[in-house]
Amino acid sequence: MINPINQDSVLPPPVGRFAPSPTGILHLGNLRTALASWLSVKAKGGAWVLRIEDVDRNRCRWELAERQIRDLAALGLESDGPILRQMDRGETYRAALSKLHADGLLYACDCTRKDLALMAAAPHAEDGLRPYPGTCRDRTLTELKPEAIRFRLPKGEVAWRDGVHGAQVDDPNRLTGDPLLHRRDGCFAYHLAVVVDDGAQGITEIVRGVDLRSVTATQIRLQEALGIPRPAYAHVALVASPDGARLGKRGGAMGIEELQASGLAIPQILGWLGHSLGCLDRPEPCIAEDLLRAFAWDQVPDQGVEFICRRAEKDLDA
Ligand code: GLU
């Protein structure tokens, strides 16, 4: 009989990732998500890779990506493989789009921003989500040219498991509607790039902020259409500022440099982050490796991150 422990040890090591968009600095909430993704795979002997999601050329700045990479390295989080940059991957995205087109799953979308804004105000827009109602879905796409292109989602719900929130059953048609894969301005869109790159980088687990939980079923549908294996998912809570507002990349949220300038050393920052992820009873100074042994998904709180942040800011003032 096979010893289950040996059986475990022959499972391929997991591959995790952190995939920031260089549109701002990484604040405590982003750093907490990055650390969770790193701890989760490293605790199982896996690999962790970094991807710069600069597919939206108009909003991304390479200096910000450099700073993000530097800030993660300051915490001890460094990519185990080459850092993928979405800006360089147009050929690959085009090939994925061609496959979906050959399978008849794409259509051209004529809706203007104004049309979409009106749709967002309609009563079906729930929790701030703006499902695309499928206005153009019966249109065909004759050739792949620079225009707005959407993926025709199949009907029905998707059952999936979240490492923090447990079993989920979502209807992507209700949550996002048919996702945009290519934009009229010539950029490939987030959903296409993220799914293709997770596949290309062999990602087996995705740890990201809970704000992306509602797009997971849509991305699973795209994985299915492209024949990309489904990774495991865990969506971690966001960190709120002392007034309860969500930390934003804009709006004065502090990154590593600002925290350090306020007198906080890296080991203290890691102590707070580790404590907020349930690895430490108290926010004691540490290095990332110190947190590996204690990291467990069932200890990661699904809420309550506001308190940790308030505490960090209180200590900052001291
Ligand atoms: N690039 C996205 C962001 O910075 C994250 C994408 C993902 O983790 O799937 O919010």
Which H/E stretch holds residue 107?
Answer: strand 106-108
Check residue 130 and give its pLDDT.
78
Tell me if 52 sits within 8 A of 197, measured CB to CB. no
Q: Is the pLDDT of residue 123 over 50?
A: no
Q: Strands 149-151 and 180-182, how do they pair?
A: antiparallel
Q: Which stretch of 111-115, 128-132, 147-151 has the lowest confidence by average pLDDT? A: 128-132
This prediction has a pTM of 0.90
Q: How many angstroms separate the alpha carbon of residue 149 from the centre of ligand 1?
A: 21
For the sheet with 149-151, list strands across it. 106-108, 149-151, 180-182
Radius of gyration from C-alpha coordinates of the chain: 20
Q: How many angstroms separate the alpha carbon of residue 193 from the centre of ligand 1?
A: 10
Distance in angstroms (rounded) separating the CA atoms of residues 307 and 34: 19
140 confidence band (pLDDT: 50, 70, 90): confident
Going along the chain from its start, the domains and CATH numbers come out as: 15-83+237-317 (3.40.50.620), 90-193 (3.40.50.620)
In whole numbers, what is the pLDDT of the chain averaged over residues? 88
Which ligand 1 atom lies nearest to the CA of residue 215? 9
Per this entry, what is the length of the chain?
Answer: 318
Q: How many angstroms separate the alpha carbon of residue 22 from the centre of ligand 1?
A: 10
Q: Is the pLDDT of residue 202 over 60?
A: yes
Candidates 233, 175, 210, 198; CA nearest to 301 is 210
Residue with tokens 């750093």: 31
113 alpha carbon, distance to own chain's centre: 25
Average pLDDT over residues 45-60: 95
For the sheet with 158-162, list strands across it. 84-85, 47-52, 15-18, 205-209, 232-236, 158-162, 166-170
Single-letter code of the amino acid located at 73: A
- Per residue in 246-267, pLDDT (tens digit) is 665 444 578 899 888 888 899 9
**Nearest CA, atom 6, ligand 1:** 19
Which ligand 1 atom lies nearest to the CA of residue 209? 8
Tell me if 267 sits within 8 A of 55, measured CB to CB. no
